[in-house]
Amino acid sequence: GHPLFRDMTTTIFEKMSMRARELGAINLGQGFPDGPGPHEVLEAAADALLTKSNQYPPMAGLPELRSAIAAHYARHQGLDLIPEEVIVTSGATEALAASLMALVGPGDEVLVLAPLYDAYVPLIERAGGVAKVITLTPPEWRITEDALKAAASERTRLILLNNPTNPTAVVMRDGELALLARFCAARDLIAICDEVWEHVTFDGIGHRPLMAFPGMRERTVKIGSAGKIFSVTGWKVGWMCAAPALAALLGRAHQFLTFTTAPNLQWAVAEGLGKPAEWFAQMRADYQESRDRLAEGLEAAGYVVQPSAATWFLSIDLPASGIDMDDVTFCERIVEEAGVAAIPVSAFYPDGTVTSLVRLCFSKADGVIDAAVDRLARFR
Ligand code: PMP
Ligand code: GLN
């Protein structure tokens, strides 16, 4: 293949889902819910498909959806975005690609925090940038000023963050966000904040957007995804929000990536974002129950799990569980021998670090969680 593609192997999510299909395993690897999604949102998509235009929507998104996103963030996160500051993309993945393509120049350094979502480093490198990886340590995964300072140089232009964080399932504390804001302002950095998990937080923890911190309104790109908010990961409707000067740059990258996104899905997401606060609270409560079900089941089977404050994921700590295997070996063995697919957290380190953490997805029906726990209990 082309030499540029030597470092781009097939993503772990596709690999593990293929393995699960091949072996008929229960798939707790790739993150997706096994429910149908909220009926009214699905119905709105079906209605729009039949009653609205199916031709190219405006490049930056349907005006109705851009307004709905701005209004949603005013209501839920106290932000003061105007619709012109919102660009609709084909999933958060496209928003990440577009923002990096727009903002990274040759040799620009981009700070990232590992463990990190596997798309980040290949996208930074394809944009001509250099990823500077700050490695966080369990179980707290906290960001420190010393680590930021050590990783930064005069070539640093951006920081790419994910909060709440996949796969560690942490929500950054206000103190950390304030530190990041001070750091970005002092060094004149732009922050790309991947907040796709913003609504999926537990135990009463709320999400605070980095954009709301002092000095960040003009220098943050805030990325969201309807796939996570409405449990419809196949829809690939996402967005990026930024002050007008930044948004103009982002729009130029977006126009040559996908230009636009399926209009009926945009209508449906616009409708869904207007749901009352109780709807979002119920969604969180339901996933929190699933989290507890998986955590308690695994603990009863002798596994030790890390806390999960957000996302659809929790991780088994292998050494703490008395299992003397690295995560890659464990995942290979449980998919083959127990019939459960999971994701080795090693996949979230760009430098080949091997971990002893195994990520499991709990956005599943109770029966599926119970069956997976049963299989993992018998594997021990
Ligand atoms: N960022 C993070 C941190 C994610 O976890 C995911 C998907 N799980 C994405 C981006 C991609 O989102 P989308 O499917 O909307 O492209
Ligand atoms: N983000 C999902 C996860 O973390 C996977 C998305 C994908 O497969 N590209 O599991």
Residue 331 three-state SS: helix
Residues 6+ apart with CB under 8 A from 51: none
Rounded distance between C-alpha atoms, residue 239 and residue 241, angstroms: 7
Q: Which atom of ligand 1 is nearest to the CA of 162?
A: 3
**Count of beta carbons in the 10 Å neighbourhood of residue 380:** 11
Look at residues 185, 165, 160 and name the one whose alpha carbon lies nearest to residue 99: 160
Write out the H or E segment, with its range, that includes residue 250: helix 244-257
Ligand 1 in reach of 91 Cβ (< 6 A) = yes
One-letter amino acid at 45 equals A
The CATH architecture that domain 3-30+278-379 belongs to is Alpha-Beta Complex (3.90)
In the DSSP assignment, the letter for residue 305 is: B
Q: Which atom of ligand 2 is nearest to the CA of 361?
A: 10
Residue 343 three-state SS: strand
CA distances, 229 to each of 185, 216, 320, 331 (Å): 30, 24, 33, 28
Q: Which atom of ligand 2 is nearest to the CA of 167?
A: 4
Q: In the chain, where are the structural domains located?
A: 3-30+278-379, 39-275
Ligand 1 in reach of 233 Cβ (< 6 A) = yes
pTM for this prediction:
0.97
Ligand 1 in reach of 224 Cβ (< 6 A) = no
Ligand 2 in reach of 227 Cβ (< 6 A) = no
CA torsion through residues 19, 20, 25, 26, sign: positive
Ligand 1 in reach of 118 Cβ (< 6 A) = no
Look at residues 288, 310, 314 and name the one whose alpha carbon lies nearest to residue 205: 310
Distance in angstroms between the alpha carbons of the first and the last residue of the chain:
41
Q: What is the pLDDT along the chain (380 residues), one digit of tens a residue?
A: 555 555 678 899 999 999 999 999 999 999 999 999 999 999 999 999 999 999 999 999 999 999 999 999 999 999 999 999 999 999 999 999 999 999 999 999 999 999 999 999 999 999 999 999 999 999 999 999 999 999 999 999 999 999 999 999 999 999 999 999 999 999 999 999 999 999 999 999 999 999 999 999 999 999 999 999 999 999 999 999 999 999 999 999 999 999 999 999 999 999 999 999 999 999 999 999 999 999 999 999 999 999 999 999 999 999 999 999 999 999 999 999 999 999 999 999 998 899 999 999 999 999 999 999 999 999 99
User: Bridge-partner residues for 357, per DSSP?
Assistant: 317
User: Bridge-partner residues for 343, per DSSP?
Assistant: 359
- Ligand having the closest approach to the CA of 11: 2
ipTM, two decimals, is 0.97
The correct answer on CATH 3.40.640.10 for the domain covering 39-275 is yes
Residue owning the nearest CA to atom 2 of ligand 2: 31
